[in-house]
Structure 1
Amino acid sequence: MDMTTVGDPGLLDALQHEVAVFARRAEQTRLGGVGQVRNSMDRAAYLLLNRLDKEGPMGVKALASGMGIDSSTVTRQVAPLVDTGLVKRTSHPEDGRAVVLQLSPRGAARLAEVRSSRRRLMAELTEDWAPEEREQFCTLLTRFNHALSARTAQGGPAAAERSPQS
């Protein structure tokens, strides 16, 4: 079935335009938050630190798989995080030859600072929204991101342009 004929073409055009504008503005600001930490952590670093914080220590392959990117990309992106002390490499508890990546105390503190700044930004941007609108927007954006991620995983057009996933 030709998906371009499903739904209202005007609405689909408006949706794709708004997504494009959102992507451009999000990248311009990096949704970096407010205050001193504004724009101070790139997207890849934020997503890697966030995943390590939520899921705990893991190897490069597991981290890459969970983010929908390849191991070489994770290795390249994590190197500066190790160099700056935000992530540490440790031996796997069951296999001392294997290396796992772990959020360092410094990394956890820095992540908390960036999250707080970004939380303030989200509050400012949606200050005139009802709580239900914030919740609905979050639900729909999550659903949209999951659909994009699934499409990438299936080898759709976006697969050639793999980018860090949450």
Structure 2
Amino acid sequence: MENQAGHEIADALGMLLRRSTRTQLHRRITEGMGEGVDELTYPVLSTLARTGPRSAADLAPDIGVDRSGVTRRASRLEAAGLLRREPDPADGRAHLLVLTEQGRAAVAQLRARLAAHITASLASWPPGEAERFAHDLRRFLTEGPFA
């Protein structure tokens, strides 16, 4: 029985972690957000909001593209006024990507959209089940194989 649960969780994680699954979700929540915000730039915004200023090279592994891919996405976000580049005090040759006030506001709106989408998709679950899932998922992340 335990082994079966492990297989089911592994299969579900495989589906969840697929790039196409994430892209589809990002496309849905960024729709209509305006200049520069789409399924490609969302991971840059979201990761910078979570981690703070970072260089394109440092950000690249977290979002699954190379440094030049991050740079292209960052340029679109910069043109839209959502981030700016600042000299990296630790490396005079590098720049840090920093969210602007407008960028932080966009991330807050995107997070609200994501939470609303998740909530709506769980609306048919029995009372308390979504809360239990949230609790168990948090526990899985802190105590499970990703800890």
Give the alignment's TM-score, normalised by structure 2.
0.66
Residue identity in the other structure for 2:28: L
The verdict on how the C-alpha distance between 1:74 and 1:133 changes in structure 2, with shifts beyond 3 A counting, is same
Residue identity in the other structure for 1:66: D
Asked if residue 30 in structure 1 is aligned to residue 33 in structure 2, the reply is no
Tell me the equivalent position of 1:118: 114
* Displacement of 1:127: 1.5
Counterparts of 2:39 and 2:131, CA distance in 1 = 22
Counterparts of 2:79 and 2:132, CA distance in 1 = 38
* Contact kept? 1:38, 1:117, Cα under 8 Å: no
Tell me the equivalent position of 1:81: 77
The verdict on how the C-alpha distance between 1:98 and 1:139 changes in structure 2, with shifts beyond 3 A counting, is same
Query: What does the per-residue CA deviation read over 1:84-115, in whole Å, with 9 as the maximum and x for residues that have no partner?
Result: 11110001123343211111111001111121
Identical columns (%): 26
* Displacement of 1:28: 8.1
Counterparts of 2:90 and 2:31, CA distance in 1 = 40
Tell me the equivalent position of 2:133: 136
Q: Segments of 4+ in structure 1 off by > 4 A?
A: none
Aligned-residue CA RMSD (Å): 3.6
Asked if residue 98 in structure 1 is aligned to residue 97 in structure 2, the reply is no
* Displacement of 1:65: 2.1
Higher alpha-carbon deviation: 83-92 or 110-119: 110-119
Tell me the equivalent position of 2:42: 46
- Of residues 58, 73, 82, the one that matches 1:62 is 58
Task: Using CA pairs under 8 Å that are at least 6 residues apart, name the structure with larger relative contact order, 1 or 2.
Answer: 1
Counterparts of 1:55 and 1:102, CA distance in 2 = 10
* Displacement of 1:128: 2.3
Give the unaligned 5+ runs of structure 2.
Answer: none
Structure whose residues are more often strand by fraction: 2
* Contact kept? 2:41, 2:77, Cα under 8 Å: yes
Tell me the equivalent position of 1:164: none
Give the alignment's TM-score, normalised by structure 1.
0.59
